[in-house]
Structure 1
Amino acid sequence: QCAVTELARNVINLEGANSSEFDPKTPFPVIDLLPEQKKIKIKGGTVRLGTYSCKLEKDSLAFKTFNQEMIYERHRHRYEFNNSYKDNFSKHGIRFSGLNQDLNLVEIVELPNHPWFVGVQFHPGPRSII
């Protein structure tokens, strides 16, 4: 989440961009609750918890790291990348190299022209090789 916020502020120049978890009044909520979650009042009902699939682009740093097209990683969070900003991020050279296709969620972002800038939404842990 922090990597996406940093990119929004300093690469795309979205002054005040933030996660709505940290600043509910941010003018650019690049990290936000999913629209269907906003109506849920019991917080436990909005947590994405457990292992989810992530499809990697074959010519990405993520693919080179995992050396496979489909990975499964752990999650425990409520906030996600706000897909309404995808086009703007892409126009500025930010790559979405890992996606959960079932839920249409961004899992991994990269800067292709950087030696190693990879941000992940999941929690790399004992089963991850990152």
Structure 2
Amino acid sequence: MDKPALKIMDGSFSVCRLKADDEVPEWSHRDGFYSISRTDEELSIVCEQKNVPESVKSEGDFSIIKVLGPLDFSLTGILARISTVLASKKISIFAISTFDTDYILVRVVSLGRAVDALRLDGYKIV
């Protein structure tokens, strides 16, 4: 199977943690990319860093690497292969999957190394 092309998305993003029973705040989906997940333990939001109030528990300064899709559900190992390449360079990730594709968040300070490692492994960055 050919390796999918990747794209670096514009912006700086934060991963936020709110209480499980909190309402989804308006600031979380003002513009651009966002992802919202609710579990019994938490409400987790990934959104543009500029929108996150200082009072919110969050980790910021993430870049997003998008796997260009749509990806067929029968495909296997795409996220595993990318995460293995990055793990070999000691680059931690935060992954989000949607119906169509995968998104890999890496720290802004690690983005250059991540891109270099992925290119060296044969991934095309568009």
Higher relative contact order (CA 8 A, sep 6+): 2
Give the alignment's TM-score, normalised by structure 2. Answer: 0.26
Task: Tell me the TM-score normalised to structure 1 length.
Answer: 0.25
